[in-house]
Chain A
Amino acid sequence: MKTEKSINEFINPQDLDIRVINIKKFFKDIKAVDGVSLEIRKGEFIALVGPNGAGKTTLVEMIEGLQSPDSGEVYIKGKLWKGNEDTLRRILGISLQETYFFDKITVLETLNLFASFYGLGEDRIKYILELVNLDMKSKVYVNNLSGGQKQKLALGIALLNNAEILLLDEPTTGLDPSSRREIWNILKRLKEQRNISMILTTHYMEEAEFLCERIIIMDKGKILAEGQLNKLLSDYSNESNKMNLNDLFLSMTGRHLDE
């Protein structure tokens, strides 16, 4: 029997951190995700890029078990969501697109709450506060944090449980360049220190280029192209015309990424 994808001939599916097989999710006549398959190996950092409405959030939330696909399957470390919720929740680190936390609760209290769900103690919280540079803000109410600080808190919460797989939905959208750079550095350091895998959605090309070795380009619920960044660029470039990711997207769809 031949498997669909050549990659499966070399890798045991059990070794894949995430395996998505032909998932679909329609909202009435909107095809939010329209037959997507992908595989993520341990230690891989993947950028899911595409303009607003491409279906990135819907795809990621289906992987996170927060939305159920109309059809298709999601395996996390070889396990389906059904029946494995509690196990899988513990190995994923998640930051949703635009979450608000409790307004009049401090950063430290928010972390205490989330840490309690994983049975974690003060040491871990202290470590996270330092990791995301919020130790000076630990007594500040969440609604008094700046946008960048809120995102760092969301990232801190995603990292609390020392997850093996990170799923970050637009972790830097709307931030100023220096806050964005700060979050990139935290993630980059993490990647160097630990063997974790990550899917990150973004519509910033620099972000994808800086953090991720593999890029998946999505539009209108479908994957347009995927591969190593250099390979993608060289495939679509020609001698006279050196491309970046933005140009690549433009040439594929006739539109700009951040439209």
Chain B
Amino acid sequence: MLKRPLFQLILVQLKEFCREPGILYWGIGFPVLMAWGLGIAFTNKGSLVRNIAVIENRIIIENNVLRNFLANSESYITNDEKIYKKTIVDKKLGKINYKIIFTSKEKAFILLKRGTVLVILEEKDGKVKYYFDPMSNDAQLVYLQLSREINNNKNFDYIIPLIETGTRYIDFLIPGLISMGVMMSIMWGISYSLIEKRSKKLLRRLIATPMKKTSFLFSHFAARFILCCTEAACLFFFAYFYFDIKIEGSLIALFIIFLSGVIAFTGIAIFASSRTSKTEIGNGLVNVVVMPMMVLSGVFFSYHNFPEAVIPFIQKLPLTMLADGIRSIFIEGAVLKDVIMEVFYLLGTGILFFLAGFKIYKWY
């Protein structure tokens, strides 16, 4: 075992990761923090605070629907603005804490433009009007809940809340974060490490021994696979215990698509690092690969928000393939045959880029 070059090469790399304190943060801490932060913000786990503004109408004081609504709420005054705090708990839309700012019309709209408040309320002749951006889901939710409370609109039977596991934002997010973690870890890890070894002439020194070039490159894949599994497991178990996330589909399918994802990105990383010995050029290349996929591939939100015309293209990106595949296994209960297309596509991408990279690889 100890005399095996491949074993030694993998061992050296694993030791290098473990001795680099940054790896713990970027590889494990950061994705978990991101899942925690985004998960809290978009599920009813923590307490949500939503700001809204009320346009003060000094002339009509009687018959004030809004003041009745806020009658028993805690309030305080700052800079001439009266601010109320009210919490509405409702079985269907969850618990939301409101901060309600009474202010002038101009100020209210400024606050809306700045994104400080989501909805503006104005009362006229006993009727409450709502100003908000109809494209904002958050604002719609606020409108729905407030209109029900204020206007006493009890007709809510048509709303059926979907808050079971599998339909929440966090269920969408975790598979995306796992896939993004694979891409980041491999693209930065392998490309950077190979380019650095080339620029320090370590590649040349290694090649001056009977070491097999394929063993050397394979060791990068193997070491990264171990690291990616560890990173993904940490993220998964955090989400499992904290958000109660579940894997509905086949674990074997999950393993296979994960492995294919690692192969795909290893191939791309080796290709990206095949020529240059300048780390700045390497950084640029990695960014060119990583950035578009981070934005387009539906890690944080569905790519179906993009125009119809680009969606077929987005679906061909390796990160989209990986994220969609993992997501369907997590939340739709997919098995191997459901993701086989993605698996082949990822394997093909990896092998193609690897062969091209290996062919033009500059060892010295």
* Contact partner, B201, options A64, A89, A100, A104, Cβ 8 Å: A100
* Contact partner, B5, options A90, A105, A116, Cβ 8 Å: A116
User: Are B12 and A99 neighbours in the complex by a CB distance under 8 Å?
Assistant: no
User: Are B210 and A90 neighbours in the complex by a CB distance under 8 Å?
Assistant: yes
Asked, given contacts A66-B204, A100-B202, whether A109 binds B364 with beta carbons under 8 Å apart, the answer is no
User: Are B210 and A66 neighbours in the complex by a CB distance under 8 Å?
Assistant: no
User: Are B210 and A113 neighbours in the complex by a CB distance under 8 Å?
Assistant: no
Asked, given contacts A90-B210, A104-B19, whether A116 binds B201 with beta carbons under 8 Å apart, the answer is no
* Contact partner, A96, options B7, B208, B211, Cβ 8 Å: B208
Residues on A with beta carbons closer than 8 Å to the beta carbon of B208: 64-66, 89, 92, 94, 96
Residue-wise, chain A 217-245 has the 8 Å CB interface mask toward B (1 for contact) of 00000000000000000000000000000
* Contact partner, A116, options B2, B15, B202, Cβ 8 Å: B2
User: Are B12 and A105 neighbours in the complex by a CB distance under 8 Å?
Assistant: yes
B198 to chain A minimum Cβ distance, whole angstroms, is 11
User: Are B202 and A121 neighbours in the complex by a CB distance under 8 Å?
Assistant: no
User: Are B20 and A99 neighbours in the complex by a CB distance under 8 Å?
Assistant: no
Does chain B have a CB within 8 A of A26? no
Residue-wise, chain A 98-139 has the 8 Å CB interface mask toward B (1 for contact) of 111111110001001111111111100000000000000000
* Contact partner, B15, options A67, A92, A109, Cβ 8 Å: A109
Residues on B with beta carbons closer than 8 Å to the beta carbon of A117: 5, 209-211
User: Are B210 and A99 neighbours in the complex by a CB distance under 8 Å?
Assistant: no
Does chain A have a CB within 8 A of B8? yes
Which residues A58-72 have CB closer than 8 A to chain B?
A: 61, 64-67
Most A C-beta atoms less than 10 A away, residue of B4, B7, B9, B209? B209
Does chain B have a CB within 8 A of A192? no
* Distance in angstroms between the alpha carbons of A119 and B209 in the assembled complex: 11
User: Are B15 and A101 neighbours in the complex by a CB distance under 8 Å?
Assistant: no
Residue-wise, chain A 77-98 has the 8 Å CB interface mask toward B (1 for contact) of 0000000001001101010101
Does chain A have a CB within 8 A of B338? no
* Distance in angstroms between the alpha carbons of A67 and B205 in the assembled complex: 12
Does chain A have a CB within 8 A of B316? no
A25 to chain B minimum Cβ distance, whole angstroms, is 13
* Distance in angstroms between the alpha carbons of A99 and B2 in the assembled complex: 24
Asked, given contacts A114-B209, A116-B4, A117-B211, whether A67 binds B364 with beta carbons under 8 Å apart, the answer is yes
A121 to chain B minimum Cβ distance, whole angstroms, is 6
Asked, given contacts A90-B210, A104-B16, A105-B16, whether A96 binds B205 with beta carbons under 8 Å apart, the answer is yes
Closest to A64 in B: B208
Which residues B1-43 have CB closer than 8 A to chain A?
A: 2-5, 7-9, 11-12, 15-16, 19-20
The bracket for how many chain A residues form the interface is 20 to 34
Residues on A with beta carbons closer than 8 Å to the beta carbon of B7: 116
B277 to chain A minimum Cβ distance, whole angstroms, is 13
User: Are A118 and B8 neighbours in the complex by a CB distance under 8 Å?
Assistant: no
User: Are A96 and B15 neighbours in the complex by a CB distance under 8 Å?
Assistant: no
* Contact partner, B202, options A64, A101, A104, A118, Cβ 8 Å: A101
A58 to chain B minimum Cβ distance, whole angstroms, is 12
Residues on A with beta carbons closer than 8 Å to the beta carbon of B5: 113, 116-117
Closest to A122 in B: B2
Does chain A have a CB within 8 A of B281? no
Closest to A93 in B: B208
Closest to B193 in A: A102
User: Are A113 and B204 neighbours in the complex by a CB distance under 8 Å?
Assistant: no
Residues on A with beta carbons closer than 8 Å to the beta carbon of B8: 112-113, 116
* Distance in angstroms between the alpha carbons of A86 and B15 in the assembled complex: 28
User: Are A105 and B209 neighbours in the complex by a CB distance under 8 Å?
Assistant: no
Residues on B with beta carbons closer than 8 Å to the beta carbon of A141: 19
User: Are B207 and A66 neighbours in the complex by a CB distance under 8 Å?
Assistant: yes
* Distance in angstroms between the alpha carbons of A164 and B12 in the assembled complex: 28
* Contact partner, A104, options B20, B200, B209, B364, Cβ 8 Å: B20
Residues on B with beta carbons closer than 8 Å to the beta carbon of A101: 202, 205
A110 to chain B minimum Cβ distance, whole angstroms, is 8
Which residues A13-38 have CB closer than 8 A to chain B?
A: none
B209 to chain A minimum Cβ distance, whole angstroms, is 4
Closest to B5 in A: A116
Residues on B with beta carbons closer than 8 Å to the beta carbon of A98: 201
Residues on B with beta carbons closer than 8 Å to the beta carbon of A64: 208
User: Are A100 and B209 neighbours in the complex by a CB distance under 8 Å?
Assistant: no
* Distance in angstroms between the alpha carbons of A65 and B204 in the assembled complex: 11
A65 to chain B minimum Cβ distance, whole angstroms, is 8
User: Are A99 and B205 neighbours in the complex by a CB distance under 8 Å?
Assistant: yes
* Distance in angstroms between the alpha carbons of A67 and B211 in the assembled complex: 17
* Distance in angstroms between the alpha carbons of A174 and B208 in the assembled complex: 23
Which residues B228-255 have CB closer than 8 A to chain A?
A: none
Asked, given contacts A112-B2, A112-B8, whether A86 binds B210 with beta carbons under 8 Å apart, the answer is yes
- Leading 10 A-B pairs by shortest Cβ distance: A100-B200, A104-B19, A116-B8, A117-B209, A89-B210, A117-B211, A116-B5, A99-B205, A113-B8, A94-B208
Q: What are 15 residue pairs bridging A and B, where the CB atoms are less than 8 Å apart in the complex?
A: A65-B208, A92-B208, A96-B201, A99-B201, A100-B201, A100-B202, A101-B202, A102-B12, A105-B12, A113-B5, A114-B209, A115-B3, A116-B3, A117-B5, A117-B209
Known: A98-B201, A116-B2, A118-B210; 8 extra A-B contacts, CB below 8 A, are: A66-B364, A89-B209, A94-B208, A96-B201, A105-B16, A113-B9, A116-B5, A117-B5
Which positions in A face B, CB cutoff 8 Å?
A: 61, 64-67, 86, 89-90, 92, 94, 96, 98-105, 109, 112-122, 141
